[in-house]
Amino acid sequence: MADPTRVRMVLLLREEELSVAELQEILAMPQSNISAQLAKLKSGGLVMDRRSGKNKLYSLMPVEKRAADAREEFLNVVELAGAEMPERKRDQTALKVVRRKRANVAQAYFDALAGKFGRHYIPGRSWKGLAETLIHLLPPMVIADLGAGEGTLSQLLAQHAEKVIAVDNAPNMVAYGADLARQHGFTNLEFRLGDLEEPPIDDSTVDLALFSQALHHAGQPERALKAAYRIVKPGGRLVVLDLLKHNFEKARELYADVWLGFSEVDLQEMIESAGFKNVETKVVHREQNSPHFQTVLALAEKA
């Protein structure tokens, strides 16, 4: 147990039976490193594995009753060692993400169905029709669309919202969106010029703060999320729709992206640090064409 990685592994396997792929995701290490460390733990009698379909699942080796107290004392010492590691907190957050992915196994079935949606013509069925239906099911609320651009989503939301405040830092975008809102007769849609990290909205005045493909344009996304926490009412919600972390460097030049997306773990950590609770993240889309951008959805609440 002198190796820090093995300490982290034992503490994770103490809480959950995990595959190599899941440990790789949590620890952010190559598969070869994970497998080598697991082999050492297995040869030392600390870890066992079992076959589950195509995967091997690893867990702590069970012990006889007479050795249970000694095992627990040993694990408590390992826990103390883990508490001194800066990676331990991140491991716990990453484990939450892995558990949540397991709980959404059924999503794969629906993803398969969703992949066929729109490939074949069926009269009257469209994504726009579904979006309009779902928006009209929302209760009337005050919504802050942060980084709204010209306000396409803001206009959809304004159809049923009590009020939508669209914030963007580009004067031309704000002017264009405001003019479009007037043309379409939206009296409950207000455009405001302002920054994501300091939106011109009073404290605790909105029911929902929304970042739709906007957070990766923020210089300091943590600050933007803290600002969202400030403006949301107690009991209100946060929605972040953004790119999953990628390596397409040209995005900085082509789309003025500051960040190349966010991992689910990073997003969850930032949202929790901002003060939000009950954070959920999920990858909801993967583009067919290169560079195969993926979209991650994060939901959270202000207690």
Asked if residue 160 lies in contact with residue 139, where contact means CB atoms within 8 angstroms, the answer is no
Instruction: Sketch out the chain's domains with CATH numbers.
Output: 4-103 (1.10.10.10), 122-301 (3.40.50.150)
Give the Å distances, CA to CA, from 245 to 149, 216, 284: 22, 10, 14
Q: What is the pLDDT along the chain (303 residues), one digit of tens a residue?
A: 889 999 999 999 999 999 999 999 999 999 999 999 999 999 999 999 998 878 899 999 988 888 888 989 999 999 999 999 999 999 999 999 888 887 665 555 555 555 555 556 667 767 778 777 888 788 899 999 999 998 989 999 998 899 999 999 999 999 999 999 999 999 999 999 999 999 999 999 999 999 999 999 999 999 999 999 999 999 999 999 999 999 999 999 999 999 999 999 999 999 999 999 999 999 999 998 999 999 999 999 999
What 86-90 contacts at long range (C-beta under 8 Å, 24+ apart), as own/partner pairs, is 87/4, 87/8, 88/8, 88/11, 90/265, 90/269
What is the end-to-end Cα distance of the chain in Å, rounded?
A: 40
> Is the sign of the CA dihedral 73, 76, 81, 84 positive or negative?
negative
What 169-176 contacts at long range (C-beta under 8 Å, 24+ apart), as own/partner pairs, is 169/193, 169/194, 169/195, 169/196, 173/148, 173/149, 176/150
Q: How many CB atoms lie within 10 A of CB 55?
A: 14
